Amino acid sequence: MTLADTDFTFVTGMVRQRSSIDLQPGKEYLVESRLAPVARKFGDKDLTALVHRLRRNDREACDAVVDALTTNETSFFRDQHPFDAFSNLMLPELKRNGGPTVNVWSAASSSGQEAYSLALLLLDWLPMNPGKTARIHGTDISPTMVARATAGKFSQLEINRGMPVKYLVKYFDQVGRDWIVKPEVRALTSFRQGNLAMPPVGLPPIDIVFLRNVLIYFDLPTKRQVLANVRKALKPGGFLVLGGAESTLSLDGNFARVETEKVVIFRNGGGT
Ligand SMILES: C[S@@+](CC[C@H](N)C(=O)[O-])C[C@H]1O[C@@H](n2cnc3c(N)ncnc32)[C@H](O)[C@@H]1O
């Protein structure tokens, strides 16, 4: 199924307006291949018919298209080093100087693997730190991903991508061919829909934010806006963890760079 140039411009404009995801010319194949199943779902014979539907402002179709154009690639303990820094650097710092509740934000949480990885590390840490509690707040723009993360149910293939056996046996129940997180893991987590380009709502002051592998989808002004929004939620001195290919450099001067052996993290300098 192919997309006319004017339809590509219309679709990418609509997606940018709703999600800030920046799809430049050159991404025609990606857009076409992601929209073909949406057209089939709505019974449209081709992408032109689907775009007519979008132009009529069919809410369900618009939501489905934005959903289809988000890239949800993720895995448990993705890249490992940020999770080591979480356990070895950030949590000890919060033990010394933090409040009674450690609030972690998994911003752009996709299907939940990042949030649940952090929850498992916290389940190791909390018993050694009596008096401390923790919450992990997952947000994502995609309602489908929020529903998947909330379900906490993963296929064997997803489990194979990064879940250590010691955590699998302790914290997951096998249901048919899938694995579901146990209640004590779920109890630490919650997931909600949220657009990072908008000021955050409903979050407590955050100690640590994992904002990984999502800035890459935004244009420059949006990257700056997202980092400013993150700072609104992050406590002064709070930690920011980005993806391996991402940095605050030349985007936001209010973050201080902290180089650890294997990973660079950032701390909120508290500017406005
Ligand atoms: C590639 S995944 C990254 C998942 C996880 N953070 C990781 O690193 O494994 C990017 C996620 O960002 C979400 N996303 C894209 N634009 C967003 C926006 N404006 N606000 C919130 N989430 C967004 C997508 O729905 C997708 O689930």
pLDDT digits (tens, 9 = 90+) for 57-93: 999 999 999 999 999 999 999 999 999 999 999 999 9
> Mean pLDDT, to the nearest integer, of 169-177?
97
pLDDT digits (tens, 9 = 90+) for 140-159: 999 999 999 999 999 999 99
Measured CA to CA, the distance from residue 167 to residue 149 in angstroms comes to: 18
Name which residue sits closest to atom 26 of ligand 1, judged by CA: 72
Name which residue sits closest to atom 9 of ligand 1, judged by CA: 74
CA–centroid distance, 128 to ligand 1, in Å, is 32
CA–centroid distance, 244 to ligand 1, in Å, is 15
pLDDT of residue 272: 58
pLDDT exceeds 70 at position 199: yes
Measured CA to CA, the distance from residue 67 to residue 38 in angstroms comes to: 10
Share of the chain above pLDDT 90, in %: 94
Residue 270: CA count within 13 A, CB half-sphere: 3
Measured CA to CA, the distance from residue 240 to residue 215 in angstroms comes to: 13
Measured CA to CA in angstroms, residue 206 lies from 73, 82, 218 at distances of 25, 17, 23
* DSSP per residue, 25-90: TT-HHHHHHHHHHHHHHTT-SSHHHHHHHHHTT-HHHHHHHHHHTS-----TTTTSHHHHHIIIII
For a mutational test of ligand 1's pocket, the pick from 117, 158, 214, 222, i.e. the residue with the most ligand atoms closer than 8 A to its C-beta, is 214
Count the Cβ atoms, other than its own, within 10 Å of residue 114: 28
pLDDT digits (tens, 9 = 90+) for 228-256: 999 999 999 999 999 998 998 889 999 99
Residue type, 52: H
> Mean pLDDT, to the nearest integer, of 193-220?
96
Architecture of domain 5-68 in CATH? Orthogonal Bundle (1.10)
Closest CA to 35 of 10, 60, 59, 67: 67
Q: Is 144 in the pocket of ligand 1 (CB under 6 A)?
A: no
Domain at 81-268, CATH from 3.20.20.150, 3.40.50.150, 3.40.50.300, 3.40.30.10: 3.40.50.150
Q: Treating both helix axes as pointing N-terminal to C-terminal, what angle do 5-19 and 59-68 enclose, rounded to 10 degrees? A: 90
CA–centroid distance, 28 to ligand 1, in Å, is 20
Residue type, 109: S
Q: Average model confidence (pLDDT) for the chain?
A: 96
Q: Is 247 in the pocket of ligand 1 (CB under 6 A)?
A: no
Domain ranges of the chain: 5-68, 81-268
Share of the chain above pLDDT 70, in %: 99
pLDDT exceeds 70 at position 14: yes
